[in-house]
Amino acid sequence: MAAGPRTGAVSTEPVVVTVPALLDGVRLDRAVSLLTGVSRARAAELVAGGRVRVAGAEATGRSQVLAEGVVVEIELPPEGPILPLADPGVDLEVVHADADLVVVDKPAGLVVHPGAGRREGTMVSGLLARFPDLAELVAGGLCEPERPGIVHRLDRGTSGLLVVARSERAYRSLTAQLAARSVDRRYQALVAGSVDEDRGAVEAPIGRSTRSPTRMAVSSEGRPARTTYRVIGRVDRPIDATLLELALDTGRTHQIRVHLAAIGHPVVGDDRYGASGPGGRRARVGGTLLVPGRLFLHAARLGFEHPATGARVTWRSPLPPDLSSVLADPPAPPG
């Protein structure tokens, strides 16, 4: 099944418009959005899917500039699943693939799936180019169109391992294992300051921040969340910091970042949650050590029961060079 911008769409009567003076010199995607009322991202998908014709010819691209008097034909499919565009140019390291699942070692800077402010160039687009059968999970009603096969995610600034389902049995099995907290997810993080206890746990509910809806926070009205940690090493250069191995007992949005910031040890590079420590003091998070937006947070180990065989499978990923270069003696992935 070929991946594309739509699944199971049925043709309808096209919208035919003669470009008015007001739209002379306007980009095609913006004009399509204005003429039909669809979002700019949806308009771009219609152009890329061959559903827009300009002066009788298929549009050459979303940035094509329109001229007054030209006839534009727009084919609007019925509302339904609209898949992200497949993009073979997305940099993606697949460490394992079989008929049921794909394990990816995601680089920092790559967004997992489309969302607010990002429609193209995501990991999902790269996966659809390599594994177009992911679209069948959307057609079967198992996944949202923007998240074919996605059962968990990593933040844009976080690198490391995550698994994507390719089959219905894998999707159901992996989501069930995540709900049962039997998936082994281990991270390595460099955090600001010296963590006193060699081992510990942070158990605090996490919910939407009342001050900023785009942020998460420890909240009595949030969902239960628990993060355990083990100290791998303490460093005093280039900053005073502690290297931790962390395990997620739950999977809340930004859980590690929120929990570590809450105990006064934000992840190095985390300007979002590490901007201030307890009492409003500034927390030194070492943002200059990494490129903007990069967190010293890496998903180093991933283990679960294979949906097809029931056997326990595990993958490990060492710290990538941009993180290991910060440490004089970087550790191996957790065993």
Look at the alpha carbons of 263, 187, 158, 102 in this order and tell me if their dihedral is positive or negative: negative
- Positions annotated as catalytic residues are 155
Closest CA to 221 of 237, 238, 209, 203: 209
Please provide the DSSP assignment of 14-35 as one string: PEEEEPPGGGTT-BHHHHHHHH
Q: In whole angstroms, what is the distance from residue 90 CA to residue 248 CA?
A: 28
Whether 3 is covered by a domain: the verdict is no
User: Contact at 8 Å (CB) between 41 and 121?
Assistant: no
Structure tokens of 59? 């549009």
Task: Note down pLDDT in tens along the chain; length 335 residues.
Answer: 333 334 333 345 688 999 988 899 999 999 998 888 888 888 888 888 888 999 988 888 888 999 999 999 998 876 555 678 889 999 899 999 999 999 999 999 999 998 755 667 899 999 999 999 999 998 888 888 889 999 999 999 999 999 999 999 999 999 999 999 999 999 999 999 999 999 999 999 999 888 877 789 999 889 999 999 999 999 887 778 999 999 998 889 899 999 999 999 999 999 888 854 443 334 445 556 788 889 999 999 999 999 999 999 999 999 999 999 888 665 656 66
Whether 139 is covered by a domain: the verdict is yes
Whether 232 is covered by a domain: the verdict is yes
Q: Which of 122, 145, 174 finishes a domain?
A: 174
Q: Which of 118, 146, 174 finishes a domain?
A: 174
**What CATH number has the domain bearing residue 139?**
3.30.2350.10
Q: In this structure, are 104 and 158 located in the same domain?
A: yes
Whether 275 is covered by a domain: the verdict is yes
Q: In whole angstroms, what is the distance from residue 114 CA to residue 88 CA?
A: 16
183 to each of 186, 225, 258, how far by Cα in Å?
10, 15, 21
Q: In this structure, are 68 and 139 located in the same domain?
A: no
User: Contact at 8 Å (CB) between 164 and 147?
Assistant: no
Helix H or strand E segment including 243: strand 241-248
Q: In this structure, are 237 and 307 located in the same domain?
A: yes
Structure tokens of 265? 């040890």
Q: Report the domain count for the chain.
A: 3
The CA-CA-CA angle for residues 46, 41, 148, to 5°, reads 85
- pTM strictly above 0.95: no
Q: Which domain holds residue 48?
A: 15-74
Whether 1 is covered by a domain: the verdict is no
Q: Which of 145, 174, 203 finishes a domain?
A: 174
Structure tokens of 92? 């993606």
Letter for the amino acid at 49? G
